[in-house]
Structure 1
Amino acid sequence: MRRVILVFFCATLSIASYSQSVFLRAKPSGEKSAVSFTEPSPSAVFFGADDDSQGFKNHKQKSKEVNAYFGSVYTSFPIFNIGKENVVEYINSYGKFVFYRPNARKAFGMILSNGKDQPILVTNPDQYLKTIKTYLNIGNADYLVPKTLDERDERNAQLDMQAVLKIKFTTDESYAKKLIKNANSVHYSKVYNDGSPKMTCTKRVFEMFSDSLMTTKSPYGGYYLYNEKNEMVSLNNTLNGKTNGYSKYVRDDNGLIKKIISGDDNSTDSTVFIYEKDKYHTVSFSGSRPYSLETFFLNDQMQCVRRLSKRADQSIVTDITYVYDKMGRIIREGQLDSEMIYSYKTDSDVIFSGFKSYKLNPRKLELQNEVVRENNKQTYIGKNGTGAQNFKSVTYVEKDGSTKTYSYDKTNKLTSVAVMRCL
C-alpha cells in the first residue's frame, strides 16, 4: 500500500506545479470550448499534438488502453480526446474550472475530473490508468500497486466469462417487450409518457454552442441513426465535423440488443449481450479477448434490481442496487458508500420530481436536484448539500420532438446550448 501512496504523491507533484495557470476560473477571450461539462460528473480528457516522438506514441497507446479498459458501456464516465483544441470547461460541484492547454506547456497529457473539485493534470502516460483508479477510487486499492495480476483470479474471471458466453436461453417477443419496457437499465432506459412530443425521425444530429444565438459552435457533435421502431442503430461522434468514434447496435427481430461494436480509426471493441430468464449479461472484448463482465439482475417485473460489473482481474467496477415502489417507480439507488433517493409529487406521478444523493457512514446530504416539468419545458436544478445552486438546465421540446437545452452555472450564467434535431 505504501507504493500506492508514492505513485499518487508523484502524480500530485506534477499536478501542483501546473495548477496555478492551467486551470482558470474564466475562459480566455476569443477562445472556444472543445468540450463543456455542464453538470458535475467524473470524466477524462486527453489532449496532444502528434510530434512524431516516442513520448506521444506512448501517450496515444496509454490513452487507447484507458478507453479499452472502461469500455463503451460505462457512459457515466465519459472519455474525450480534444487533440490540438485549447479549452475544456467544467461546471463542478465546487465551482467552475477552465482548462487552458497553452498554459500546460506540454505536448500531451490527460485532464481528470471527479466532478467536484478542480480537475487534475497528468502528464506521464504510464500513470494515466493508475491515477484514474486512485483519484476516482475505482476498484480495489491494492490492485493499483504496479504488479503482475494474480494469475488465478484472472484465470477464474476468464472462465466465468467463457461460461456466460456458453449460456443458451431462447428469448421471445413477450420477454423482449417486457424487458425493453421495464428494465430501466443503461441499455434499456425507461421511456416515460410525459405528454411531450417524441422524436420519430431516423436521422438525428447533436450540436453544442457556447452562446444563446448559437453562432459559436463546439467542435464536438454527433450523428444518430434509428430504425423504423425508433431503436438506435448507430452513433457517430464527431470532432470538427469528422467522425472520431462510433458505436453500432446489432439487434434481434424483437429489438433486444445482441452486440454493440465501438471504435475509432485505430481500434475496435465489442460488447456481447447474453440473456437469461432473470438476468442479462454483457461481456466486453478488446479484439478477441474478453476483459469485463457485467450482470443486470431482474425481478419478476423485469426491472433491474442490481447491476454488478467486474473486470478480468475480478475487481468490482460497479455494484448498484435498485429499489422500486408498488407502482413500479424507482425510489432508491444504493452503493456501498452512497445512495440516491427519488421523490414524486403525487402517488399518480410516474416521473420523479427530484432526487437527493447521500454519502454514507456517516450519512451526509451531498446533492439535491429538482426537476420541474411544464408542457414542453423541463427545468433541471442541481444543488449542493446546503441548498446552493451548482447548475441549472432548461430544455424546450419542439413539436417534432427535437430539443434545445440551455445550461447555466451556479451564477445563472449561460455555459452552453445543446441541440438535438432531425436531419
Structure 2
Amino acid sequence: MTPPKHVWSGDWEAESEAEARRRAEAEAERQTRESQAAEAPTAVGRTIAPGSPADPYARPEGAPPRRGRVAALAIVAILIIGGGAFAAGLLLDGDDDSKSSTTPVAALPSVGSKPVTPSRGQTRAGAIYAAASPAVVSIRTSTGTGTGFLIDKQGTVVTNDHVVETSKDVQVKFGTDGRTIQGEVKGVDPSSDLAVVHIDASTIPGGVKPLEFADSRGVSVGDVAIAIGNPFGLDRTVTEGIVSSLGRTLKAPNGFQIDDVIQTDAAINPGNSGGPLLDDGGKVIGVNSQIATNGVTSGNVGIGFAVPSNTVRQVVPGLKQGKTVSHAWLGVQIDTSGASAPNATSGAVIGSVETGGPAESAGLQAGDVVKSVDGQEVRDSTGLSTYINSRAPGDKIKLKVERSGQTQDLDVTLENRPEQVPSQAGTQTTP
C-alpha cells in the first residue's frame, strides 16, 4: 500500500516537489546574499536589509506568506511534533505585524445529529444527498478542480489548502444552477490542509442551506459515512460507506502531522478533495482530503481519510477573517525504527532535535524517550504529538524523559511552528 495521496485532480505531487525545490534554492541563495551583505557594504556603501524594498526576496506588502509544499521524498519525509489536532490552545496571529500578542480562537459550534428519516421509497443516502448536496460546490483553479461546501449564509466555503494552494481567486459553481461564481481565498492553513473561500452572499442560489458540523468526538467506528464531491469532475457525486477507523495521522501539505483523522471506506477519488464527509444525520464529521492507493491505480481502493470536523471548527473562524493560525511546536523528530533507543518498550523516542528549537533549548537529546508530558503518560509518538497540538505557542510544559537508564524532568517553552517541516537527511520518519 502506497502512502496516502491528496485527492486533487491536478498534479499535486509534482507541483509539490517543484515548489519545495524552488523554495530550498531561493532560501539558500537568500542566506548567501545576507551573509555577504553582513560582511561587506554594497557598491553604494550600504547593505540590503532582508525584507526591505530592495530585497528581491522580500514579500510584497499585503501579499500572503509564501507557502511551500513538502513532497514525500525519503530525505524530507519528516513530521516534526506539533501537528494538526486542535484544542483550546489554538491561536490566531493578527494582521498587524506590530502586535506581538495572539488571540485565542473561538470554535464554530457543533450541533446534535439525529439519523435522517427517508421518505417512503427513498434510501437514507438519498435523503441525505437531497438535503446536503445543494450546499456542495465545485472549485476550479488554474491547475485543477476540487470540492468545497457552504457553511453559512454569508458565503463562507470550506475546502482543502491543497485545492486552492497559492491561488487568490477561484471559480466556484453550485450544481443547482450551473453558474460560475468568483470566489476569494480568505485564508489557508497548510498544517491542517484547510482553506476558506468567500463568495458574495447574493450569489448563493435560493433554497441552499449551509451544512452544519457534528462533534467529531462522537464519531464511532462502524458509523455511516457519506461523501459528496466532484470525483474526476463528476458533479456532486455521492458515495456511502462506514467509518473504518479513528485516530489516524496524515502528512499535511507543509509536512507536519494532522492528527485524529477519520478513515472511511466511502469511495473517495481525485476531485473529492475539500468535500464533506457526513454522518447519518447529514452533519459534517470531516473534510475529505487523502486516499491510500495500491500503487497501480490512483483511484479508490476503500481507504479514504478526512480531517475531523472538530479541527475544521477550530481553524475556520480565523481563516474566515484572513488571519494566520499559530500551532505549538516542540521541535523534535521521532524515531519509529527503534534504532535510537532499542530497549524502549513505550514512550516517544526522539530521533533528532531541531537546531535552535524549543526542545534543544530545554536540553532534549536524540535517543531520549519521552515517558510523560505534564504528568500524562506518553505511550507512543502519536500521544506526544496529540498533546503538543492541544497547547499553544508560549505554553510551558514538563517532559519526563528516560536517558541512559536515568529519568529526568525537562521544562520546555513551546514555540510557534515554522511554515514547513525543516528537512534533515538521515532522520527516521514518524507515522
Given the two structures, how large is their TM-score scaled by the length of structure 2?
Answer: 0.22
Q: Which has the higher contact order (CA 8 A, sep 6+)?
A: 2
The structure carrying a bigger strand percent of its residues is: 1
